[in-house]
Chains A and B, each alone.
Chain A
């Protein structure tokens, strides 16, 4: 695989755009198609592309196994933690309106935080699944 110049250079060229697109989908999710789930999958696809082109160990330098496995619960923690924060600010569970002085800003902030949680868990899960398949039988 190392001798294939087109594949290697092509991957390096396309990587920043994949990650940029992931960020676009993440932060534009409230207005257009997209959101945390899709952004997480796109970001994970970048890591998987590196693994396919440069090998498994190169991908692990970008996203170590330990990090990936911690990302899976961490995203849920961000999501559920946002909900719990709403308790303490006087609302019901996941009632984002209380997160800021203006309820509309509050809802905006709530969705933003929750979607980050989703992106973290989804990208972590995708990469963890990929690693699990790649490492089968090793």
Chain B
């Protein structure tokens, strides 16, 4: 046990990787699910221990293969990525029980082992991006997670899933290419791929290298923004979320874009923040303008969607806008708000998409017009939808309010009261699209086809209710979420020039 303690950073990646391989070897639906469940439940323990270690003794460095950094690949865990690791693995653990019935129905018993294999590979990739301290290794993990995501999406039962997956493949590959070009430029400038080492070398780089640095910054920002679906680089996301199997959408919406946001934060603050005076470049202005555009345009489009999964996908785009807004404003309160929204949005959106998955499981449709009166037939499911929906709107007492409160405080600190106004105005649009569903589900007489609909089985209902409860819990007790996010923000801002 003592021996494994020091290997926790490697175990975080090796466990899902080996799990995925074993799942592909056993290939039997139920056994594959059991293995996946065990892996998903072990991972939060590992990341919890890492988080505890980091909070009590400071950053952990793990030299892969025994080659010391900066020569070898280093896994480096500090407050920020311990927080992201905890988020990804905890969400994976909570939503896993939901998968069995939902995946068996939508993907089929025959293919479900492959589905779980791809899920574990995706999980290994996402955790890898978060844990690694090596810029090129992050690219490799980014591609592992993206490639498996394409498969997860393509396994959707609607044929349009194939087009959506292909579209994501093209856009994701362009993003990855931009990322590698950026890393390549950094390598030419510094001769290093280790993030800490790059940051130190850039900080003392001669001024004539500034132009190459800005080019690297631009390539990395655009490349990662494609992966995290920042408006207007978002075109792959709505189709991918709408046609992927319900459970894959739950997982991806709660984790994939969050990890990409982490990577952007890491580059902006930990690497370029110490080398370039970011305030002299229009980085913040561009990010804020695009975030505000995302908040409004995506929310408006969401109001007009009839496919509810598609509607929630557009809502995700708007919520990504909030997270990026916090990064753009970049002061203590706003960055805390942006980071805490990673968690809060993951919880709320996972709950909303799980409600959609339950709906599809019982009724076979997620079209708004076909679910009139479903609230009385599936009260717990739609009740959870209402709670998580209120969170997305940002009602006081829910987790969504906490994020927006921090963002508003951050904007006010800068004296940008217009942003506060825009924040409230965009929340009002989300009242429209969430309200439309609530009105249809609860205030209409039940449609004829829904007579036999009822709440889904307990294995699906429990994760949903748990996350709905978490939406309220983290709206009241914010020590765990905003507390750690605040520490991470402080850590990031401390490294700025």
Contact = CB atoms under 8 A, between A and B. Distances in A.
Interface of A: 70, 72-74, 76-77, 80-81, 83-84, 87-88, 90-97
Nearest to B17: A80
A74 B25 contact: yes
19 contacts: A70-B25, A72-B24, A73-B20, A73-B22, A77-B21, A77-B25, A80-B14, A81-B18, A84-B18, A87-B4, A88-B3, A91-B66, A92-B10, A92-B63, A93-B7, A93-B62, A93-B64, A94-B64, A94-B66
B25 A92 contact: no
A93 B24 contact: no
Given A77-B25, A80-B18, 18 more contacts: A70-B25, A73-B24, A77-B18, A80-B14, A80-B21, A81-B18, A83-B14, A84-B14, A87-B10, A90-B3, A92-B62, A92-B65, A92-B66, A93-B7, A93-B14, A93-B62, A93-B64, A94-B64
A96 B65 contact: yes
B11 to A, nearest CB: 8
A80 B117 CA distance: 15
Interface in B105-145: 117
Interface in B57-87: 62-66
Given A73-B25, A74-B25, A95 B17 contact: no
Contacts of B25: 70, 73-74, 77
B65 A94 contact: yes
Contacts of A95: 65-66
Contacts of B14: 80, 83-84, 93
Nearest to A90: B3
A30 to B, nearest CB: 16
Nearest to A76: B21
B189 to A, nearest CB: 29
A77 B17 CA distance: 9
Interface residues of B, number: 18
Contacts of A70: 25
A87 to B, nearest CB: 6
B66 A77 contact: no
Contacts of A93: 7, 10, 14, 62, 64-65
A81 B10 CA distance: 13
A97 B18 contact: no
Among A73, A77, A87, find the residue whose CB has the most chain B CB atoms closer than 10 A: A73
B21 A97 contact: no
For the complex of A and B, 6 pairs with smallest distance between CB atoms: A95-B66, A73-B24, A93-B10, A94-B65, A73-B21, A76-B21
Nearest to A87: B7
A32 B4 CA distance: 37
Nearest to B63: A92
Contacts of A88: 3
A94 B9 CA distance: 13
A77 B23 CA distance: 11
Contacts of A72: 24
A73 B64 CA distance: 22
Interface in B1-45: 3-4, 7, 10, 14, 17-18, 20-22, 24-25
Contacts of B18: 77, 80-81, 84
A88 B14 CA distance: 14
Interface in B255-304: none
B242 to A, nearest CB: 27
A121 to B, nearest CB: 10
Nearest to A83: B14
Contacts of A74: 21, 25
A88 B6 CA distance: 12
A88 B4 CA distance: 9
A80 B17 CA distance: 8
Contacts of A92: 7, 10, 62-66
Nearest to A93: B10
Contacts of B66: 91-92, 94-95, 97
Nearest to B65: A94
A97 B72 CA distance: 14
A88 B21 CA distance: 20
A101 to B, nearest CB: 16
A76 B17 contact: yes
Nearest to B75: A93
Nearest to B117: A73
Contacts of B17: 76, 80
A87 B424 CA distance: 52
Contacts of B7: 87, 92-93
Contacts of A90: 3
A81 B4 CA distance: 15
Among B21, B25, B62, B64, find the residue whose CB has the most chain A CB atoms closer than 10 A: B21
B419 to A, nearest CB: 45
A52 B414 CA distance: 69
A81 B17 CA distance: 11
B3 to A, nearest CB: 7
A83 B62 CA distance: 14
Contacts of A84: 14, 18
A110 to B, nearest CB: 9
A74 B20 CA distance: 11
Nearest to A94: B65
B132 to A, nearest CB: 13
B396 to A, nearest CB: 46
Contacts of A80: 14, 17-18, 21
